[in-house]
Amino acid sequence: MKKSIYKENGIFSLIKSNLFGIILFLFIFIFIVSGINSLGSKSKEEEMKIAKDSINKAIVSCYAIEGKYPKDFNYLVKNYGVHINEYKYKVNYQIFASNILPDVTIIER
């Protein structure tokens, strides 16, 4: 009579009897982790969109009130209350003329 390498009540028989539960647990765990990661990336995209929208609103408000676009980004910060996390984002503000809409680019650091 051949003897089994594994004991009948050993760890391998325990894994074998609960294989479906283990696979189900791993699947749910991976699903949750991937969901959390996707929420983080969507949050970053939304944060950048909000920052760009607030800058554009301030630019248009400045043009409507003063009749010209702001000469630099610091003017918007001082006079129109634009707050951007400068440790997280770099704002590239390029103006061609006082009557042409400036080009604003937000870059994540």
Domain boundaries, the chain: 11-108
Which pLDDT does position 3 carry in this prediction?
A: 55
Per the structure block, which two tokens stand in for 32? Answer: 């949750």
Question: What pLDDT is recorded for position 14?
Answer: 67
User: 42 in helix, strand or coil?
Assistant: helix
Q: How far is CA 62 from CA 17, 46, 52, 69, 79, in A?
A: 70, 24, 15, 6, 9
Low-confidence ranges of the chain (pLDDT < 50): none
Look at the pTM and tell me if it is higher than 0.75.
no
Strand partners, 94: 103
Quick one: pLDDT at residue 41?
A: 72
